[in-house]
């Protein structure tokens, strides 16, 4: 790693030459740094807007589920079967699905060795449970702060290996040559008060973009404002976006930005909309469902069938709710809420009727 100062148009720019620049400080970025270091690549630097400020260290809800090849129970599993299930979700290329399945056990055990306390029985079998579209019990969790524990373990390993960290450095652009190959990056040192000296240039062979932030590409998002990403710099540099399917239609609290969790949804709340001032309350789903049973079934299923799926619209499926929420917010310009103080009503039905629930499908 080498440093030098460049003077361009009155700016004093610090230039860092390094083999690999890692952008971000969440679990993905830190795991990349630790893995590369273990493979013998020590010419590394991590640039991050805020150490510990990413989604891994701060998020709740589905970030607390870790997905891997099944390692418990009597049901068999294999790399090809896991890869097929990932691919069948229609949001991942087959080669990526195969690589993720093949490396899942190694990645998981690496976290175990680093001290993340995933649950296991007295014989050492790592507990698992089923999640969205899963045919095996591949999911596991270390509790409500799983990704936070992953960040803590990985960040400790980064510091143990003395991998260089440039905190408060926000990468604003990826630099390419005339063949559209990324050859460097430009960042701003947020701590530098003198704008003339604030720019940092990276000259590097490899860049790992580990900032995530999918919510940042949408006009409205359920992701907390603090959890930003820089996926946009990749698009600006010429990258193509594919399989950008991880989205929700904006059901979230209006103050603390806590995105919709399956546990909350399965309480079967009432969906209401109001005008911009909070008046004219309506349970807007009702007119699109034929009866109380189909309405409550869709609301309940939305809790764990949370990704939007066109195949779950027909027959009053759970994804019909996504479209109706979108229509209410975008087309009608109304505000949408989940009311946990009221049971969903339907026509003359105002009380919650457990005997009318679809027990077969719940």
The radius of gyration of the chain from alpha carbons, rounded to an integer in Å, stands at: 24
pLDDT by residue (tens digit) across 31-63? Answer: 999 999 999 999 999 999 999 888 888 876 556
Highest-confidence segment of 130-139, 215-224, 232-241 = 232-241
Looking at residue 219, its pLDDT comes to 63
How many residues in the chain? Answer: 362
Beta bridge pairs of residue 182: 176
53-57, 313-317, 327-331, 345-349, range with the lowest pLDDT? 53-57
Looking at residue 43, its pLDDT comes to 97
Percentage, residues of the chain above pLDDT 70? 87
Highest-confidence segment of 19-33, 131-145, 206-220 = 19-33
Q: Between 3.10.100.10, 2.60.40.10, 3.40.50.1100, 3.50.50.60, what CATH number should domain 1-61+146-247 receive? A: 3.50.50.60
Phi, psi at residue 325, to the nearest 5°? -65, -45
Q: What is the pTM of this model?
A: 0.77
CA distances from 224 to 188, 212, 258 (A): 23, 13, 7
Mean pLDDT of 164-192: 95
Domain residue spans in the chain?
1-61+146-247, 66-140, 262-356
User: pLDDT grade, residue 232 (50/70/90)?
Assistant: confident
Looking at residue 217, its pLDDT comes to 60
Nearest to 236 by CA among 178, 175, 189: 175
pLDDT by residue (tens digit) across 291-301? Answer: 999 999 999 88
User: pLDDT grade, residue 268 (50/70/90)?
Assistant: confident
pLDDT beyond 80 at 192: yes
Counts for the chain of helices (H) and strands (E), in that order = 9, 11
Q: Are 25 and 54 in contact (CB under 8 A)?
A: yes
Looking at residue 248, its pLDDT comes to 47
Looking at residue 135, its pLDDT comes to 86
Residue located via tokens 């093949």: 102
Highest-confidence segment of 79-83, 93-97, 238-242 = 79-83
User: pLDDT grade, residue 74 (50/70/90)?
Assistant: confident
């Amino acid at each position: 790693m080498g440093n030098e100062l460049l003077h361009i148009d009155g700016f004093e720019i610090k230039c860092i030459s390094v083999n690999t620049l890692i952008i971000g400080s969440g679990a993905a970025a830190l795991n990349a740094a630790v893995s590369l270091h273990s493979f013998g690549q020590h010419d590394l630097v991590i640039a991050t807007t805020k150490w510990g400020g990413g989604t891994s260290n701060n998020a709740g809800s589905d970030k607390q589920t870790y997905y891997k090849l099944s390692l418990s129970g009597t049901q068999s599993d294999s790399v090809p079967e896991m890869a097929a299930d990932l691919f069948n979700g229609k949001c991942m290329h087959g080669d990526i699905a195969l690589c993720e399945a093949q490396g899942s056990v190694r990645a998981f055990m690496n976290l175990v060795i680093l001290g993340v306390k995933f649950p296991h029985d007295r014989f050492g079998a790592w507990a698992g449970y089923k999640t969205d579209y899963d045919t095996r019990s591949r999911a596991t969790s270390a509790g409500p702060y799983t990704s936070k524990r992953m960040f803590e373990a990985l960040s400790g390993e980064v510091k143990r290996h003395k991998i260089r960290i440039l905190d408060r450095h926000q990468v604003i652009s990826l630099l390419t040559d005339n063949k559209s190959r990324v050859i460097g990056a430009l960042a701003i040192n947020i701590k530098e008060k003198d704008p003339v000296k604030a720019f940092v240039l990276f000259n590097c062979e490899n860049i790992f973009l580990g900032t995530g932030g999918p919510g940042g590409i949408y006009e409205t998002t359920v992701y907390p404002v603090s959890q930003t990403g820089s996926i946009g710099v990749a698009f600006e540099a010429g990258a193509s976006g594919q399989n950008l399917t991880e989205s929700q239609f904006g059901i979230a609290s209006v103050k603390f930005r806590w995105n919709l969790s399956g546990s909350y949804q399965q309480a079967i709340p009432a969906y209401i909309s109001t005008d911009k001032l909070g008046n004219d309350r309506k349970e807007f789903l009702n007119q699109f469902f034929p009866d109380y049973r189909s309405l409550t079934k869709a609301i309940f299923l939305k809790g764990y069938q949370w990704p939007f799926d066109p195949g779950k619209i027909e027959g009053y499926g759970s994804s019909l709710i996504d479209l109706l929420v979108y229509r209410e917010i975008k087309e009608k310009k109304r505000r949408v809420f989940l009311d946990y103080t009221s049971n969903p009503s339907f026509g003359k039905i105002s009380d919650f009727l457990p005997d009318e629930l679809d027990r077969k499908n719940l």
